[in-house]
Amino acid sequence: MSKLSKNSKRILGVAAACLMLAGWSASSQARDCVVTNWLGGQPGLSDGNAGKQDTQATSNRRYAGHCGLRVPVDGTPRFVTDNSPAPEDTYIARFYVFLDNAGSDEIVLFSADDGTDAKVQIVYNAPTSGDLTLEVVDSSNDVNELTFDDVGAGWHSVEFAWEALESATIAFSLNGSDDLTNTINTSGIALANANLGNVSGAGSAGTNSIDFDDFDSRRSSRPGRLCRGLTNLSRSSLDLQDALNIFDEFASNGNTPADGQPDYNEDGVVDFDDALLVFSRFASGNEDCASNL
């Protein structure tokens, strides 16, 4: 499978990067956390911004795997670039983001350009604080917006689908919700680069930051959400071992990290509550991943 048809990136070591670029996934156990697998560049970032999570996420948070990307919101543009679209007339992307510590400034979290100008942007705190807005430029150079109001705390999955057509359907989803949609003319536009992070250089000197994980871009088929609490990606349902793996991570303060997606309640902390919730889902017969997205 080519990286254009499915390009999924976690913040893994170089050994795993080739697999991810080819559309494969792998456990990040015992691998370094790096940003160099983003081949389009990493302005304002270094491997020091990619890291593992302790129990309270005083280091990096992550949603899937063992590594996450923490981006400072300090007035400097800091982002990673995926240049695999190169160029595309259909583009679908999904990523996870933790915004609790992002601050109140308007922040461009994601942008996709045609090689020169931004044609798609996802903006936090716009039009008002706590809102998340997809901005899409049409063939007349007008900006068309779709907005989720006051998205709240915790990890969020953010997904959109874009196409270049005279009557293009643009779709925007948050946390697996029903799509917000718009029909606009995007004919003649092609996307060449995608950027993820503090693209606009929002903020000022301080401690604000954003955590990102599991960016997945495709030509076709929507990636959707990952299975919460699943720590063995060869399965499609939760079981007792998932609860035990999550407990081990909590009890070891992150020194025995679980694979998969251990933060079941998506509050940014892997703790005993997550283990209990997974056990409850398994014990009550609600273990299928379709019921735990």
Q: What span, in angstroms and rounded, lies between the C-alpha atoms of 110 and 88?
A: 17
Q: Residue 5: its pLDDT value, please?
A: 36
Q: Residue 8: its pLDDT value, please?
A: 55
| Regions of the chain with pLDDT less than 50 | 1-6, 12-30
The structural domains of the chain, with segments of one domain joined by +, span: 6-218, 240-291
Q: How many residues are there in the chain?
A: 293
CATH of span 6-218: 2.60.120.200
Q: Residue 30: its pLDDT value, please?
A: 42
Strand, coil or helix: 109: strand
Q: Residue 243: its pLDDT value, please?
A: 99
Q: What span, in angstroms and rounded, lies between the C-alpha atoms of 51 and 191?
A: 30
Backbone dihedral angles phi then psi of residue 244, each to the nearest 5 degrees: -65, -40
What pTM does this model have?
0.90
Q: What span, in angstroms and rounded, lies between the C-alpha atoms of 61 and 212?
A: 8
Q: Residue 86: its pLDDT value, please?
A: 75
Contacts of 214 (CB under 8 A, 6+ apart): 8, 9, 10, 63, 64, 65, 94, 95, 96, 226
Burial class (CB in 10 A: 0-12, 13-18, 19+), 83: middle
The sign of the torsion formed by the CA atoms of 226, 229, 235, 238 equals negative
Strand, coil or helix: 103: coil
